[in-house]
A and B are shown apart, each in its own frame.
Chain A
Amino acid sequence: MPRLLPRFAALCTFVLALCAPDRDAQARDITIDLTDPIVSITTGFTGTDLLLYGAVREPGDLVVVVRGPARDEIVRRKEKVFGVWVNRDELTFDKVPSYYRIASNRPLEEFMNSADADRLQIGLGNLDLRAKVSGKLLPEAPYEFRQGLVRNLQRLGLYMTQPDNVVFLSEQLFRTRLRFPANVSVGTFTIEVYLFQRGALKSTATTLLTVRKFGIEAQVYDLAHRYSLAYGVLAVIIAVVAGWAANAAFRKG
């Protein structure tokens, strides 16, 4: 009889867990998961694909927004000086997402109104990118620089919109493939899924993803940034030993 007690406790926990979503019923309109919540950058890393899959309670239109960790970006404009292209004007943008990807089951403008798109910052044009001059945010970033920034990030494969990348397998089940190129930043990524029904935002779900360097790559990077003097000295020692070894090896041969 006492042996049954822990089992009973476990059963209770399970039932409670099943009931728990009821407290937050709206969030359960969408259920999502990733094939892997962690992307590890290892020696052979050339970028990776992750599958985001889930289910909606009632059919509708879905938008998946993925944002990478934010950082400041300097945008520079080239001008021709004595026949050579030289960086002249520059502008710093504040807290730019290092990665920004939008996927949906059909083109956004077919089901989302522009007020929602603007408020939720969905779409490359709606992303709130703020320039700053000596620490102070400008009310509006110069258009050319803003476009230049987005264009560069698109070219690097870090910003993209894919209006047909969310695939519904049935009325409820869906999946989308997330592409992370080799130059992806490390840190925490947020994945937001928005469910629209008859043009109105019905529900949202959020999950996190971690991109990290792993193994020898992480150690090298860590050493280089945290113990840079030791790293530099080590780099020299490796080179000296390698040079000496090469000389010794070929002298015999």
Chain B
Amino acid sequence: MDIYLPIAEMSVNVFAIFGMGAGVGFLSGLFGVGGGFLMTPLLIFTGIPPAVAVATEANQIVAASVSGVLAHWKRGNVDIKMGMVLLVGGVIGSSAGVWLFTLLRELGQVDLVIKLSYVIFLSIIGFLMLIESARAIMAKKRDVPRRQHTHNWLHGLPFKMRFRRSRLYISALLPLGIGVFVGLLAAIMGVGGGFVMVPAMIYLLGMPTSVVVGTSLFQIIFVTANVTVLQSVTNYTVDVVLALILLFGGVIGAQIGARFGGRIQGEQLRGMLALIVLAVCSKLTYDLVATPIDLFSIGSGGH
């Protein structure tokens, strides 16, 4: 069954898109990741214009994060104060990101920047995860104790703030900076940015792991909501019909994935995810490097 997407202005197969949503949802449930960094490249591979893919995926992540945060909220695993500071940074970063996105679009470089950002981030993350999971598998055999976070120059920054829920007394500039960076990624790549924020919260801020995921989801809701509204207003690239199909697929896939997740070992899971990430990354790299079928491309001017 085909459906016409009003904003992307193309016709797609509903089941294919639903299947993609479910597949990525399954992986996100299985691995406990957002999935935006897989969904956006997949949409691009299907032929959805990258600008529409990014903006629409931000809209879908709003739903996925609301659905995810509720469970953490009930268990009190959301550090609201920390979330608010991250959020302020996130709104600044994502607003700047949408502005940059618009500028790049006018210059005809937005597709390239989206793809390049993906290649860079996916390769870094893929390799780090692969190394980490390999180490974890070996460490398990040798039983090496995990190192706690250490104090460094980051803790000497001004504007110190107390975060009770996270049991931290650190400079507000740190979470603010992380928020700005993640906001930029959300706007340009159409991701929640959990894959950057979660490690940053653990290793840079030293937050307890119990509150990390909930707090990250909490801030992602607002940042992706900001991206959705700004992209709608400046670039008209949010396709609600596409977002809805992805969303239904994603929600169902995530529930099934979460149930499967308990049966597989954590390190092996991470290794598998790393391989998927690297596969997507290679495909994107290939598309950038391989000689295109036509050196000339067209785009409508004057919206």
Contacts and interface: CB of A to CB of B under 8 A. Distances in A.
A8 to B, nearest CB: 51
Interface string B215-234: 00000010001001111110
Interface stretch (B81-89, B129-137, B286-294): B286-294
B296 A233 contact: no
Nearest to A148: B296
Contact of B4 (A45, A151, A240): A45
Interface in A226-253: 228-229, 231-236, 238-240, 242-244, 246-247, 250
Contacts of B124: none
A44 B10 CA distance: 11
Contact of A243 (B4, B63, B240, B299): B63
Contacts of B248: 242
Contacts of A234: 240
Interface in B243-267: 243-244, 247-248, 251, 255
Contacts of B65: 243
Given A41-B4, A182-B10, A242 B232 contact: no
Nearest to B65: A243
A220 B241 contact: yes
B7 interface: yes
Contact of A74 (B62, B238, B292, B301): B301
B295 interface: yes
A43 B4 contact: yes
The prevalent SS among residues of B at the interface is: helix
A67 interface: no
Nearest to B240: A235
Interface range on chain B (Cβ under 8 Å from partner): 35 or more
The prevalent SS among residues of A at the interface is: helix
A224 interface: yes
A74 B243 CA distance: 28
Nearest to B251: A246
B54 to A, nearest CB: 14
A145 interface: yes
Contact of B108 (A44, A90, A152, A250): A90
Contacts of A228: 232-233, 236
B229 A224 contact: no
Interface of B: 1-4, 6-7, 9-11, 59-60, 62-68, 70-71, 108-109, 112, 116, 221, 225, 228-233, 236, 238, 240-241, 243-244, 247-248, 251, 255, 288-289, 291-292, 294-302
29 contacts: A46-B11, A74-B300, A75-B297, A75-B298, A76-B299, A85-B295, A87-B297, A145-B296, A148-B295, A149-B296, A152-B297, A182-B11, A183-B9, A221-B6, A224-B232, A228-B232, A228-B233, A228-B236, A232-B228, A235-B229, A236-B229, A238-B240, A239-B243, A240-B66, A242-B244, A242-B247, A242-B251, A244-B70, A247-B71
The 6 nearest A-B residue pairs measured at CB: A148-B296, A243-B66, A232-B232, A232-B229, A239-B62, A243-B63
